[in-house]
Amino acid sequence: MQTPEGSGPHVSTLYRYPVKGLTPERLDRVTLEPGETLPFDRAYAIENGPGRFDPDAPRHLPKINFVMLMRDERLATLRSRFDDSTHTLTISRGGKPVVSGQLSTPLGRQLIEQFIAAYMKAELRGAPKIVRAPGHSFSDVAAKCVHIVNLASVRELGRVIGRKVDPLRFRANVYLDGLAPWAELNWIDKAIGIGPARVQAFARTRRCAAPDVDPETGARDMAIPATLARTWAHQDFGIYATVIAGGVIAAGAVVTVPESG
């Protein structure tokens, strides 16, 4: 995620998260549709014990209902890969596959659930359950949206902390570069062009403890919300935006930023 010298605002990288709390998957390009998330972004989640999610009447639930990094940092030591065509999830640990299951079938879900039950035994409130509803996204916010982070803000945060900060700590969909640090926090209620697509920012991302976890090692080794609060008097990092005009976007796509004021 390096900044090309002298480049203007642009897309650096794109990611989706097929299963909430598990491995980000980098995308070369993606089609944005009005009012939708990235395809398969947070399409599945793992309930932590007896859950309240009803696939026949899906609604947004707080992330505390699910296995997630804010509390379950051991998830970061797993690597998962999702196949769109078969909905097959493969989980690896230490570079070796440990379980694979087709999430669209009861047996496939059971295989993954049994592994999570054993691996996360100490962190679970009961038997884990993989859940999904067509068209539903298990985002941290109720609105269907994309999550945007500015890499210049990541680097500024790292400067203050005194260590390089991995941008994947923030689990965004779209990472932008070629901007001033914190420029994105002034875009709320404004439209942003991303290649041929347009999105409208509607909220800053208020940070919980999830970014404190190293996405490679699972170590809880930073205090990012506390640093934000101490240095900038808020805990906001990144923005949520609704897609208002669709299109295919890719790394390098030009970003048209809102005028200031």
CB 258 within 8 A of CB 199: no
Q: Which amino acid is at 250?
A: A
Is the same domain home to 102 and 148? no
Is the same domain home to 146 and 213? yes
Cβ contacts of 37 within 8 Å, gap of 6 or more: 137, 139, 144, 145, 146, 173
CB 222 within 8 A of CB 212: yes
Is the same domain home to 75 and 167? no
Residue carrying the six token digits 């879900």? 109
Is residue 172 situated within a structural domain? yes
Looking up residue 237, the CATH number of its domain turns out to be 2.40.33.20
Tokens of 161: 């902390």
What angle do the packed helices 224-232 and 151-161 form, to 10 degrees?
A: 90
Is residue 35 situated within a structural domain? no
Minimal CA–CA distance to 175: which of 159, 205, 152, 198? 152
Pairing of strands 174-177, 146-150: parallel
Task: Give me the pLDDT at residue 186, please.
Answer: 96
HSE-up of residue 216 (Cα within 13 Å, Cβ side): 3
Is residue 137 situated within a structural domain? no
SS3 call for 157: helix
CA distance 236 to 92: 32
Is the same domain home to 101 and 167? no
CA distance 114 to 50: 15
Into how many domains does the chain fold? Answer: 2
CB 206 within 8 A of CB 38: no
Q: Calculate Rg over the CA atoms of the chain.
A: 18
Is the same domain home to 197 and 102? no
CB 188 within 8 A of CB 239: yes
Is residue 241 situated within a structural domain? yes
| Residue 128, Cβ density class (10 Å: 0-12 exposed, 13-18 middle, ≥19 buried) | buried
| Domain range enclosing 210 | 10-18+142-256
pLDDT in tens, the chain (261 residues): 444 444 799 999 999 999 999 999 999 999 999 999 999 999 999 999 988 999 999 999 998 899 987 777 888 889 999 999 999 999 999 999 999 999 999 999 999 999 999 999 988 999 999 999 999 999 999 999 999 999 999 999 999 999 999 999 999 999 999 999 999 999 999 999 999 999 999 999 999 988 999 988 888 999 999 999 999 999 999 999 999 999 999 999 999 998 754
CA distance 261 to 246: 26
